[in-house]
Structure 1
Amino acid sequence: MANGRTPKDSLATEKLLRAAETLFAQHGIEKASLRDITALAGVNVASVNYHFGSKDVLVEAVFASLAERVNDARSRALDELCASARERGDVASVEEIVQVFLHPYLAPNEQTHGELLAQFLLLNRMSPSPITTKIMEQHFDPMARKFISALGDALPGTTLKTLYWRYNFMATTVFMSVTDKARDSRVARLSGGIADPANRKELEAELIAYVAAAMRGPAPVAKQRPQRQRQT
């Protein structure tokens, strides 16, 4: 093969990616050991260094693979939503757009990988690398612009600048909320358990209502400095 890789190499790489994704989702990125990953993949520990070089590079490869799959599906869902609205002579509502954005993180059949993707995104926020920045630019920025455009159609009185700010606030709120699911969840503790992010349907409903209300909020008003009175 031109790149020196054999079909056997490609199969081992794919096995490692799938095993790592499964264990990262089950145990978290930090707690999943290379020994566990290689055992699940059915390869030896040295395979990680051979195919990826390190666990950090494997993490980045899983992030890229997951981001591409999830965001391609999410972009198609947004396109279908907007096309359906146009056929009715309408535009997609803010709530519908937010629901599409949330879907990978909270849908029962997508939830595990969606939560893992949110972990990757938070990790990138705290400790970005050139590779994760490239993944964001390639797989998240085009999707973000599509959502901002759809939100602009739903909120024609909102400036583009404000839409960018509010999209960023929406994304951050969602990432923080969907990863707060441990037994020591802060909101569950504060509320005595009546607000529990483990109830994903309730979390989705609250997030949609909260984000939609924020999107529709008034634009900030620039404060004017009081004019100093001239002494006479």
Structure 2
Amino acid sequence: MDILSLIGIIFGLFAILGGAVAKGSSLGALWNVAAFIIVIIGTLAATLVQSRQAAFLHAFRIVLWVFKPPKFDARATVARIIEWSQVSRKEGLLGLENFSDTEQDPYIRKGLQLLVDGTEPMILRQILESDLDNREAFDLQGAKVFESMGVYSPTLGIIGAVMGLMAVMQNLADPSKLGHGIAAAFVATIYGVALANLLFLPVSNKLKSVIQARINYETMLLEGLVSIAEGENPRHIENKLNGFLQGQ
């Protein structure tokens, strides 16, 4: 569980709800059905028009990474790579077959199988980099779905406010309705700006950081596997991979 994301959501809600109460408003004043329809449904509609179906669905599969990002132990993986390199130097690349058969991670299993098959280092790098680049691009498309929502929702909030003010202008003859009407008009702006800055954009950026962390981890794996294919000394491989452990 990413506790920072949970704390951030709680603080965001407190900032809006607590701020409204502190300003002398009521929590009920923040609820408006028309504003909800305009901002939420409108933002969703704009995002659907922009996004590919696969990317849109993927966005809601990976959104859980904000609270529960994929786990990987880079230091333990470096130790495993060193073990593989030592085995390959003693028994040859075919000695890695047992590791390949029992490996749970699809990316590692594919890399080990390519080593066992005697794939040339350059070809090995090309295959693994292709997998890495394609997965990164697809994951980033998912993250950008929420980024798009963060771009559209403030504009939809302004549209909702303008539409609310139009309704107020139609009731100028009845001053008793003006205050309530104007307040309701600006609820849409609150929805749009608050959702963009407290939810959609932070979620997008958090997903991008998680994706980048995983890419760094898998790049480390790639370099380790290619180094084994090239027959590098295990100590040299360890020194090279330790550079990826900064910030872990």
TM-score, normalised to structure 1, is 0.29
| Bigger helix fraction | 2
Higher relative contact order (CA 8 A, sep 6+): 2
TM-score with structure 2 setting the length? 0.28
Radius of gyration: which is bigger? 2
